[in-house]
Structure 1
């Protein structure tokens, strides 16, 4: 919901960042694209930011483009992506989450898993989606966007076929058991028993891997373009 452009700036009471209390409401003032946005049912006394999302005593919220909005970014004359001043934003309620028990499982720069009294949620596409098969009592964050509970190992919202009772996770994000190896969401088809990382640098690829069959060059930026080639 967008407020009138002629709101009285003298009545603004800052909460944090660009959020304010205004006549009992919580509003966001986006000077970059000249928008003033009301937080639906927002409570000024309890409204706060929590690692990429917002919450108060009533709801958990996310920041998103409206359905009729132009793209969030555009290209400048140099070909670089910049924020689009024509983009239209809103603060939306994420339905079905209990704000009184909502919290992140572990706060990190890559915080991805959250919980409330009803279940586990994963941060995906700017919102939170329930991890349907996750066990609330045993779930924990492993790092590198992996999670686990007593039954499964997860990468974001996907179950990956790694033995939850007999696995290892190294300092580069390779997770394996006695049968399979994964690097994030990509399966590494090498021998787990003799697998080793010889050289690792995500910026200056390839990553060099080795097992009993030889040496391999591994490259990836996303799962779709990941690949492994045996080196002569």
Structure 2
């Protein structure tokens, strides 16, 4: 459960870091902002930037008429006319390849390219394969193949995220997921061997109602939680239920913990973070104290729930919210009276930001991917997008394309009025 929460906090922090850092006078994207007419990267002022020609290239790259910037640092000598982004922290111009703001010595810019999907983890020029930190890898480039996002192979070895999987048999090697793989002799978690696992019977335990998760795995002898044996769990009857829970013929589990839950009378909601029976409610492995079990229900995707008396974030009561007035809209958005609230995880777990948004609570449409619109504006993560009109966002495909632009740092955010 702790891993789940940390992930939520990190994601929401990325979205709202400029606001938390006091850089919200004019948020240009998630990392660049203008405060007192000075461009900032996060909290770092960029005094020498030419504001008239300043242009954001991505979340962490920008340029003006004289320089290319990685964050707030100048990429010394970069050629503005030929400069292009190649990956998250990789770029090139006609003269050099760069990792962050540093020249990647020996790399050939003419033939340098990214290998793989939207977030490439490998790069190549005519001579070498590089990992995402720009480190050359000892891989036979003529035999190089991508098996799955994290896994690559040449004529001798298998690699996970640029690290060799020692002893892997290239002829029988099979990726099972982004984390697990096996060959005829062993099972691997990332690039390490799971010594007790049987490759002939090893499987990832699939949630009954959603896509595969990587929390639980099993073979004919054991059940594993993130690669650790769950003593006493029955592999034959073990299945995952919800996002984080599992059960076998004897018990219900959260991680390796056995929960005191009635196996014949339990309920898990669609998001799968809370579980209850007739007498108690759990949030992960933690009992929710003082709850009215009969009226308790999970609310959406943001670790929220309510009963007839309270609204809950995790196992804590949110005293300021009346449960009778709180309605779930979609994603991290909720309607409270006529106000749209953005209840992303950071706002409920100690981050200083307003819950209220400028969104018209009487005329709104939630489009998915944290995108919502009213008659006048489009919003992402509760913040108004300056350059997008409501009529430009009508379909799921529109939302997907818009979300990619936001993630790439190509759209600006308008400070809330409230």
Give the TM-score of the pair, scaled to structure 1. Answer: 0.66
Q: Does 1:187 align with 2:287?
A: yes
- Aligned equivalents of 2:310 and 2:243: distance in 1? 22
Residue aligning to 1:132: 231
CA deviation profile, 1:30-58 (whole Å, cap 9, x unmatched)? 6xxxx5x4322211121121122121111
- Aligned equivalents of 1:59 and 1:6: distance in 2? 23
- Aligned equivalents of 2:295 and 2:196: distance in 1? 43
CA deviation profile, 1:48-94 (whole Å, cap 9, x unmatched)? 2112212111111122xxxxxxxxxxxxxxxxxxxxxxxxxxx2212
Q: Does 1:20 align with 2:153?
A: yes
Check whether the contact 1:47–1:55 (CA below 8 A) recurs between aligned residues. Answer: yes
Counterpart of 2:187 (choices 57, 60, 64) is 60
* Alignment of structure 1 residues 35-184 onto 2, 5 Å: 37-51=163-177, 52-63=179-190, 91-106=191-206, 108-123=211-226, 128-173=227-272, 174-184=274-284
Structure 2 gap ranges (5+): 1-135, 323-418
Instruction: After TM superposition, give the deviation of residue 141 of structure 1 in Å.
Output: 1.6
Check whether the contact 1:27–1:38 (CA below 8 A) recurs between aligned residues. Answer: yes
Paired residues in the alignment total 178
Aligned-residue CA RMSD (Å)? 2.7
CA deviation profile, 1:154-209 (whole Å, cap 9, x unmatched)? 012211111123222223433111221112233222132x2233x72444x7x351
Q: Which has the higher helix share?
A: 2
For structure 1, which segment, 168-177 or 131-140, has the greater mean C-alpha deviation from structure 2 after superposition?
168-177
SS of residue in 2 equivalent to 1:111 = coil
- Aligned equivalents of 2:188 and 2:160: distance in 1? 16
Quick one: structure 1 residues 187 and 5, their matched pair in 2 at CA, closer, same or farther if it must change by over 3 Å?
Answer: closer
Check whether the contact 1:110–1:145 (CA below 8 A) recurs between aligned residues. Answer: no
Give the TM-score of the pair, scaled to structure 2. Answer: 0.38
**Greater Rg by CA:** 2
Quick one: structure 1 residues 208 and 6, their matched pair in 2 at CA, closer, same or farther if it must change by over 3 Å?
Answer: closer
- Aligned equivalents of 1:45 and 1:60: distance in 2? 15
Residue aligning to 1:216: 310
- Aligned equivalents of 1:116 and 1:6: distance in 2? 34
CA deviation profile, 1:90-134 (whole Å, cap 9, x unmatched)? x221211111110112162533221111111112xxxx1111121
Quick one: structure 1 residues 43 and 170, their matched pair in 2 at CA, closer, same or farther if it must change by over 3 Å?
Answer: same
Quick one: structure 1 residues 208 and 102, their matched pair in 2 at CA, closer, same or farther if it must change by over 3 Å?
Answer: closer
Q: Which has the higher strand share?
A: 1
Check whether the contact 1:155–1:184 (CA below 8 A) recurs between aligned residues. Answer: yes
Instruction: After TM superposition, give the deviation of residue 5 of structure 1 in Å.
Output: 6.1
Check whether the contact 2:139–2:154 (CA below 8 A) recurs between aligned residues. Answer: no
Quick one: structure 1 residues 216 and 147, their matched pair in 2 at CA, closer, same or farther if it must change by over 3 Å?
Answer: same
